[in-house]
Amino acid sequence: MLRIGAVERLKGEPIFSADLKLDHPLTLNVLRSSRAHARIVKIDINGALNVKGVVKVFTASDVPGNNLTGIINKDRPLLVSDKVRFVGDSIAFVAAENEEAAEKGVHAINVVYEDLPAVFDPEEALKDSAPKIHEKGNLLFSRKVKKGNIDKAFENCQAVVEKTYQTSCLEHTYLEPDAGAGYVDGDGTIVIFASTQNPHYDHSEVVSILGVEDEKVRIIQAATGGGFGSKLDLNVQGFIGLALYHLKRPVRYVYTREEAFLATAKRHPLTMIMKTGADRNGKLLAMRARIICDTGAYASYGIAVASRSAVHATGPYEVENVDIEAHCVYTNKPFSGAMRGFGAPQMAFANESQMDLLAKELSMDPFEIRRVNIFRQGSETATGQKLTESIGILECLDAIQPYYKGAVKKWRTSEASPFKRKGVGIGAMWYGIGNTGMRNPSTARVEMDPAGAVTLYTGCADIGQGSTTVLAQIVAETLCLEADAIQLVVGDTKYTTNAGATSASRQTYISGNAVKEAAEKLRELLMTGAVDVLKVGKGSLMLDSGFVADSNDNAKRVSFSKLAARAYKKGLPFVCQGYFDPETVPLDPETGQGVPYSTYAFACHLAFVTVDTMTGEVRVEKVVAAHDVGKAIYPEGVIGQICGGVAMGVGFALMEEFMHGQTESMKDYFIPTCKDMPEVIPIIVESREPTGPFGAKGVGEPALIPTAPAILNALNDALGERIYSLPANLERVLEASIRSGCFGPKEAKNV
């Protein structure tokens, strides 16, 4: 089947926030801080009010409710009143009749700052002498995971590898810059269309900012052109809500690319000091990890990133003795938040490098060392969780091994042009589905109208990943219908109930289960109704494309519509609510012991790279990507995620780096083009998850995680020199080539 909405997208029909037709909408423009850390002495808006076309200028004093926002902890003001904490902080905004006036208005606002000392290095920020960015200090959160006795275990190790790894700050660079539009309804409801990954969170946040009743705000997810985690934060929604509250005129706000770069979340740069030890058989005995996550000026999802990076530090391997600490630290940089993988991609880079280094120390094959340690049934994770089901990592490793063997035998030694070296590398990963050791339920509603038509109501935002298709398939499968027969109401807080965030690869697993429960309840109602009509026991009834039939006598059947009509007449409408919350046990604050997730996705990638030893240019030729997704409900969607994940992984590995104060837009921030893309060979492994809908887990973030580690290990394979900081750009690769002795006249192989 075709993905739901694919044809409409191809024809350009979906309505993005910027496309919404509104009656003379006002446009907004935000005044952003030009200082990294400064007290605000005065905001003079009079100049702006005199600009023709400016309708109102908003400052913190216009916020009727809570000015502080944030999904985990509320530390980010919608509009700053006391001090700014990064270049890009929002101070005031202008509502105007047109963009030109809005822009002029912003330039006419005069802010008097009193500069404060700023801190940009997270390690500096942790010192007592560092300027305090927030009242409570610069340490936002620490996650510790401790088990066994590492000191004793390190003594018994044959090989110990200790290295420091660094990753860069990234901008998500989704296709559609943040946008929203809205109006005030006839009954006074504030209606906001937004490009968002979490309409129900937006709803609670706008309600909190405005201090109004829940019913007074309605958020509708407009067509959304990607998010990758950045559209989990409030971007334009709060400004639009505030403007609607005061002005009661339609409003639209679309970020420029520059604004999206300046003012929205980034990926946390991580410093990872890793010490890993193994015995002479390669069995991992101990790991010590010290992780610093630079969250910038505000927390956003920082706590989740720190927590997840600590929990995932070991990679998909058993390590009996661990001492892991992740610290999340405020600095005066743009704030970091959620980005595809929440710290796991950074950790995988460090951890998979460690695995290859240990293999080298012990003269082992990189597959062998992974095989010795990899999670199996009954394995215990660093947090003390026993893994019992759906552990497809060995199958993933097995799936890529033939490609590795072939590459080592033939491809790697085959003729390359002079000055080129080839290498292959492995990256493995595990990824806990859903939030870390926290409740994160989803709900859904499935209704059948008196005519027998089925509608799914879900708050789950489809931002391009295809959740709507999967959820419709789940309803259809449960009710024995075709997926395109299911009517859909998606991401509209007036009609849908909370499905939580489209993040943490959780929607197929968690919302899938909620949807399935609702559909099963409806199925039950249909069966019960049919018993009444057909006078046949439930045990012998079955669903058959719109009918309930007697499995012994197929002629004995009653249509869904008849059953629905009867029920409605009796005053018992077919309206079914579903719910699912994965079982977790919160992590102990001191030891991190607990059950952070109820299931994990697994994957292995194999990367083939060619390195130019004279210039540092790298071509990723091929990525073989094996993913255990439990069950691929929509295989084309899984493959789409894998290919997109690889693309993002290539960017993370080789070129992406957001430099605060410098990087402005796509002109100086490079993401891969199709010419940079390797051939991708996706391999779907299905290790059924008993608690998943039809056995499914998730793949959204896992798709990206192993790519960069595989590429970095391949670079090392090609050059014999390792790179410890991302991105492995021209400069770093050429340096590695020089260190390895590959750079020079003699090294050229004859053609």
Partner 1 sequence: MYAGLAYVRPEKLDEALEFLEEHGGETAVVAGGTDVMVDLRSGALQTGYLLDVSRLSELKGIAMQGEELWVGAGTTLSEIYSSETLALFAPALQKAAFTFGSKQVRNTATIAGNVVNASPSADTMPPLLIHEARVVLASSNGVRTVPVEAMSTGPYKSAIHPDEVITRFILKPAKSMLADFQKIARRKALAISRMNMAVMAEKDETGKIMFMRLALGSSTPTPRRMEDVEAFLLGKRPDRALLWEAGQVLAEKMVEITGRRPSTGYKEKAAQGLFMRMLYPLV
Which residues contact partner 1 by CB under 8 A?
99-100, 103, 418-419, 612-617, 619, 655, 667, 670, 672-676, 729-731, 734, 738, 743-746, 748
Asked if the peptide bond before residue 678 counts as cis, ω within 30 degrees of 0, the response is no
* Shortest distance (Å) from residue 675 CB to partner 1: 4
Report CA-CA distances (Å) from 675 to 112, 407, 619, 671.
Answer: 48, 22, 10, 11
> Of 568 and 670, which has the nearer Cβ to partner 1?
670
* Shortest distance (Å) from residue 417 CB to partner 1: 9
* Shortest distance (Å) from residue 665 CB to partner 1: 10
Provide the β-strand partners of residue 566.
Answer: none
* Shortest distance (Å) from residue 655 CB to partner 1: 5
CA separation for the pair 347, 340 (Å, rounded): 13
With CA atoms as reference, report the closest residue to 316 among 187, 466, 428: 428
DSSP 291-354: EEEEEETS-TTHHHHHHHHHHTTT-SB--SEEEEEEEEEE-SSPPEE--TTTTHHHHHHHHHHH
By CB atoms closer than 10 A (0-12, 13-18, 19+), residue 501 is: buried
> Of 535 and 675, which has the nearer Cβ to partner 1?
675
* Shortest distance (Å) from residue 418 CB to partner 1: 6
Q: Which two tokens stand for residue 703?
A: 């798709």
> Of 430 and 658, which has the nearer Cβ to partner 1?
658
> Of 420 and 627, which has the nearer Cβ to partner 1?
420
DSSP state of 698: -
* Shortest distance (Å) from residue 667 CB to partner 1: 8
> Of 413 and 417, which has the nearer Cβ to partner 1?
417
* Shortest distance (Å) from residue 620 CB to partner 1: 10
> Of 354 and 613, which has the nearer Cβ to partner 1?
613
CA separation for the pair 718, 738 (Å, rounded): 13
Buried b (16+ CB within 10 A) or exposed e, 660-673: beebeeeeebbbbe
* Shortest distance (Å) from residue 290 CB to partner 1: 30
- Assess contact for 361 and 159: CB atoms under 8 A: yes
> Of 143 and 421, which has the nearer Cβ to partner 1?
421
Q: For the beta carbon of residue 203, count every other beta carbon within 10 angstroms.
A: 24
- Assess contact for 93 and 43: CB atoms under 8 A: no
* Shortest distance (Å) from residue 426 CB to partner 1: 24
* Shortest distance (Å) from residue 57 CB to partner 1: 20
> Of 527 and 730, which has the nearer Cβ to partner 1?
730
* Shortest distance (Å) from residue 296 CB to partner 1: 24
> Of 532 and 668, which has the nearer Cβ to partner 1?
668
* Shortest distance (Å) from residue 13 CB to partner 1: 24
* Shortest distance (Å) from residue 195 CB to partner 1: 22
> Of 374 and 728, which has the nearer Cβ to partner 1?
728
Angle subtended at Cα 517 by Cα 513 and Cα 523, rounded to the nearest 5 degrees: 140
CA atoms within 13 A on the CB side of 117: 8
Report CA-CA distances (Å) from 338 to 172, 178, 353, 579, 717.
Answer: 10, 15, 24, 25, 32
Phi/psi for 35 (5° steps) reads: -115, 150
> Of 254 and 364, which has the nearer Cβ to partner 1?
254
> Of 129 and 673, which has the nearer Cβ to partner 1?
673
* Shortest distance (Å) from residue 41 CB to partner 1: 28
* Shortest distance (Å) from residue 413 CB to partner 1: 21
* Shortest distance (Å) from residue 287 CB to partner 1: 34
CA separation for the pair 294, 139 (Å, rounded): 10
Instruction: Outline where 231-286 has alpha helix (H).
Output: 237-247, 257-263
By CB atoms closer than 10 A (0-12, 13-18, 19+), residue 3 is: middle
CA separation for the pair 84, 414 (Å, rounded): 57
> Of 581 and 676, which has the nearer Cβ to partner 1?
676
- Assess contact for 178 and 235: CB atoms under 8 A: yes
* Shortest distance (Å) from residue 744 CB to partner 1: 7
> Of 98 and 577, which has the nearer Cβ to partner 1?
98
* Residues whose CB is less than 8 angstroms from the CB of residue 534 and which lie 6 or more positions away in sequence, other chains included: 541, 548, 550, 556, 557, 558
Angle subtended at Cα 625 by Cα 317 and Cα 505, rounded to the nearest 5 degrees: 70
DSSP state of 581: -
Pairing of strands 251-254, 179-184: antiparallel
Q: Which two tokens stand for residue 546?
A: 């719109």
Phi/psi for 17 (5° steps) reads: -55, -40
> Of 40 and 618, which has the nearer Cβ to partner 1?
618
- Assess contact for 381 and 437: CB atoms under 8 A: no
By CB atoms closer than 10 A (0-12, 13-18, 19+), residue 23 is: exposed
> Of 318 and 612, which has the nearer Cβ to partner 1?
612
With CA atoms as reference, report the closest residue to 705 among 351, 181, 191, 325: 351
> Of 492 and 747, which has the nearer Cβ to partner 1?
747
